[in-house]
Structure 1
């Protein structure tokens, strides 16, 4: 049986963004909610709220505005793929279609740092997208509850990579 084809969200980005955080593909809870990092145990909003000074429990639109006003864009490596469930390991490799990063970077030339939210995002970006020499890249520990490192260790790694 073929897994369903999933489609990611458009990027969240404001003029002048300097950092792009890339996930691999939104999980089931996020896709149903039509919101990035909607799973209540995902640490993304807690970590970015702490780093950029906004309330991680604020309404979604306020969190998005605070993140983008801080110069951070948010997107996923994959535009579409087939996957059963939410795990990156369940993505069918031959189904992966990357987002159009050439057009994205042309429209947002101020982005100089790409951060991968987990190993799968980095692996698939490097496999499917042409790496840009002038860009800085950082792999961060996944904020997913499936990645069992402590919140404190995840937050420290994110702080080290994102806060100059």
Structure 2
């Protein structure tokens, strides 16, 4: 089944963009980045920016990210995938990252949420961005929660 990614959530003040791979089935149904409550993304970001995001509605979460100069997007514009696992993504097309220079002129760091998205790190580094591959926020990655939390916190502490 072909799954479509979402539009970039960035603006002229965005300094950090977090790139996932492709929205999960739950996220697609809700039309929300990280809409699956089993994904720890909002909990991890809450800890790193020091503001509760989990207890907020989606629009409020996005406003908080915007205020903290954090943007969201995915590596893939679309891809074929059964279920929601990154390992099952096939026939993917990457987003047009050249648009970032115009959309987010203050962008200084691109973070990749997990290994699948992180495979495209060299491409964005070659475009002149500082990059960082973060451990996946997937609930399946909780066994490494202390390491994962410390790596996420290190990026977003200012």
Match of 2:129 in 1: 135
1:78 offset after TM fit, Å? 0.1
SS at match of 2:143: coil
TM-score by length of 1: 0.88
SS at match of 2:141: coil
Match of 1:145 in 2: 139
Match of 2:59 in 1: 61
Post-superposition CA distance 1:79-130 (Å, at most 9, x none): 00101011111011xx11111110122221210100000010011454xx45
> Matches of 1:72 and 1:155 in 2, distance apart?
17
> Matches of 1:84 and 1:34 in 2, distance apart?
18
User: What root-mean-square deviation, in Å, do the aligned CA atoms of Structure 1 and Structure 2 show?
Assistant: 1.6
Deviates more, 1:80-89 or 1:131-140: 131-140
Q: How many residues align?
A: 157
Match of 1:73 in 2: 71
Instruction: Give the counterpart of 2:11 among 14, 25, 31.
Output: 14
Instruction: Give the counterpart of 1:103 among 99, 103, 116.
Output: 99
1:146 offset after TM fit, Å? 2.1
Match of 1:122 in 2: 118
List 4+ stretches of structure 1 deviating above 6 A: none
Structure 1 unmatched runs, 5+ = none
Indicate conservation of the 8 Å contact 1:112/1:135, yes or no.
yes
Match of 1:27 in 2: 24
Rate the CA distance shift 1:70–1:130 in 2: closer, same or farther, 3 A. Answer: closer
Rate the CA distance shift 1:15–1:53 in 2: closer, same or farther, 3 A. Answer: farther
